[in-house]
């Protein structure tokens, strides 16, 4: 259970101006041309956090800074949007997950030497929408994110994560309705390189989490941790995604429905230790009348993790890795639903929201045993934006509860 009452004094207008067009809640970049207002924003922020109410993957204290520039421009023959951002975070007393974003991939690896960890994040994105006629629009967007992480302790390691997504789209507009179709192709990669430094005679330990905190705990050089495998550069993980979505709007109604398929592997070349993936279905439904807007969303993601059965075979003096098959060790289902209401007169804005998340995992890492876990979390919140001269004050209040059940 948690209660949050933050107070923010900053420029909010960019995000509020994006809300003018309900199509911005969807994934069709061609809809950028529907609006006619150009606006830009540049921001600088600093942050500092400290405390013990945290997960095992978070730091005891951290501080950082970030810069972000965003813009939407409408010209005579086309409309475009773009953003660039950079952030640097220094985390103290940090251990746990060695991945840049713990939980993004279904497997994880943890180390247990608290120390200072540095994270740098880069963001570059852009999109363009071009009218083909008075009724047809086409557009495309490209998003690129890069994150570098490094930790200097007894077990020194660096992590590099790259995210790339390309999304073309098409949109048809008439006096009574608008309809669109968008596609997306993405690739996410991360690699962790580790080495031991110092004069300690003790080899640092690491834990490879196959799911539900079942896995292998041994020296970081052990074969079951996969940080130092012969013929493999570090611990590589990648995921490819392919998605499609359809959009429709009429009057104050906007709807989008789509699906995204993903497939990923842990390892490289012949050494593919795990394969994972599955579909994600999502739905967005918005309605606006006058100053009132209701937004609803729902998504369901299912996936599985399969562990490969590998053996090293010597043939003609050459050692080859042979795969005999795989076992399904984890199944997951994640349901997310949310609803929000907002009222605005163009300057002042008031809103309330509620969300519910239900995640269920079933693992069979140790045959014939089966383990299950369900995590349910609910949140409610409210916010208000009040203009004071050239400034805006935003106040948020939130309350959340959750439960976990193991079987």
Query: What does the pLDDT look like over 240-294, one tens digit per residue?
Result: 999 999 999 999 999 999 999 999 999 988 889 999 999 999 999 999 999 999 9
| pLDDT tens column, 135-178 | 999 999 999 999 999 987 777 889 999 999 999 999 999 999 99
DSSP H helices in 79-181: none
Q: Tell me the mean pLDDT in the region 203-207.
A: 89
* Least confident segment among 103-117, 118-132, 237-251: 103-117
* Least confident segment among 49-53, 346-350, 368-372: 49-53
Residues in the chain, total: 407
The answer to whether the Cα torsion of 212, 217, 221, 223 is positive or negative is negative
Q: Which residue, chain included where needed, has tokens 């005891």? A: 60
* pLDDT for res 198: 66
Total structural domains within the chain: 1
Confidence of residue 199 (pLDDT cuts 50, 70, 90): low
Q: Which residue, chain included where needed, has tokens 């500092």? A: 48
> Would you list the DSSP string of 271-298?
EEEEEEEEEEEEEEEEEEETTEEEEEEE
Phi/psi for 120 (5° steps) reads: -120, 130
> What is the CB neighbour count within 10 angstroms for residue 1?
7
* pLDDT for res 7: 42
Non-local (6+) Cβ contacts of 201 within 8 A are none
Supply the range of the domain harboring residue 260. Answer: 2-406
The answer to whether the Cα torsion of 322, 325, 331, 336 is positive or negative is positive
Confidence of residue 316 (pLDDT cuts 50, 70, 90): confident
Confidence of residue 11 (pLDDT cuts 50, 70, 90): very low
pTM of the model: 0.89
| The token pair that represents 352 in the structure block | 């309330």
Among 19-23, 184-188, 346-350, the range of highest mean pLDDT: 184-188
Q: Tell me the mean pLDDT in the region 291-315.
A: 92
Cα separation, 82 vs 272, in Å, equals 37
Note whether 220 and 205 are within 8 A (CB): yes
Q: Over 60: is that where the pLDDT of 3 sits?
A: no
Q: Tell me the mean pLDDT in the region 108-117.
A: 90
Q: Which residue, chain included where needed, has tokens 């239900």? A: 358
Confidence of residue 6 (pLDDT cuts 50, 70, 90): very low
Confidence of residue 9 (pLDDT cuts 50, 70, 90): very low
Tell me how far apart the 2 most distant CA atoms of the chain are, in Å: 80
Q: Tell me the mean pLDDT in the region 23-52.
A: 90
Radius of gyration of the chain (CA): 24
* Least confident segment among 12-16, 211-215, 319-323, 339-343: 12-16
* pLDDT for res 20: 86
CA distances from 368 to 224, 327, 406 (A): 20, 12, 17
CA distances from 8 to 42, 69, 105 (A): 17, 19, 32
Q: Over 50: is that where the pLDDT of 106 sits?
A: yes
């Amino acid at each position: 259970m948690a209660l949050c009452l933050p107070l923010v004094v900053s420029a909010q207008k960019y995000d509020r101006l994006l809300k003018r067009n309900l199509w911005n809640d969807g994934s069709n970049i061609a809809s950028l041309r529907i609006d006619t207002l150009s606006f830009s924003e540049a921001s600088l922020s600093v942050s500092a956090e400290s405390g013990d109410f945290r997960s095992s993957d978070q730091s005891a204290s951290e501080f950082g800074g970030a810069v972000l520039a965003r813009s939407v421009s409408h010209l005579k023959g086309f409309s475009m949007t773009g953003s660039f951002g950079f952030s640097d975070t220094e985390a103290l007393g940090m251990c746990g997950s060695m991945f840049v974003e713990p939980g993004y991939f279904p497997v994880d690896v943890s180390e247990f030497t608290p120390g200072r960890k540095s994270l740098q994040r880069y963001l570059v994105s852009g999109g363009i929408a071009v009218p083909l006629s008075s009724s047809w629009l086409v557009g495309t967007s490209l998003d690129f994110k890069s994150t570098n992480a490094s930790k200097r302790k007894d077990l020194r390691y660096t992590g590099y994560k790259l995210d790339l997504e390309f999304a073309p789209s098409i949109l048809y507009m008439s006096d009574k309705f608008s309809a669109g179709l968008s596609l997306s192709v993405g690739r996410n990669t991360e690699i962790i390189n580790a080495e031991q430094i110092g004069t300690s005679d003790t080899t640092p330990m690491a834990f490879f989490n196959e799911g539900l905190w079942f896995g292998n705990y041994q020296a970081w050089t052990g074969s079951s941790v996969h940080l130092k495998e012969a013929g493999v550069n570090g611990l590589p993980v990648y995921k490819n995604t392919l998605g499609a979505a359809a959009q429709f709007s009429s009057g104050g109604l906007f709807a989008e429905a789509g699906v995204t398929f993903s497939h990923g592997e842990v390892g490289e070349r012949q050494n593919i230790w795990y394969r994972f993936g599955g579909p994600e279905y999502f739905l967005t439904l918005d309605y606006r009348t006058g100053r009132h807007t209701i937004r609803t969303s729902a998504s369901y993601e299912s996936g599985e993790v399969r562990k490969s059965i590998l053996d090293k075979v010597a043939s003609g003096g050459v050692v080859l890795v042979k795969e005999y098959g795989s076992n399904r060790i984890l199944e997951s289902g994640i349901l997310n639903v949310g609803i929000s209401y907002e009222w605005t007169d163009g300057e002042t804005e008031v809103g309330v929201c509620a969300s519910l998340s239900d995640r269920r995992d079933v693992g069979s890492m140790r045959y014939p045993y089966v383990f299950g876990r369900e995590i349910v979390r609910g949140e409610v919140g409210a916010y208000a934006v009040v203009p004071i001269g050239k400034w805006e004050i935003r106040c948020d209040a939130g309350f959340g509860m959750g439960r976990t059940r193991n079987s």
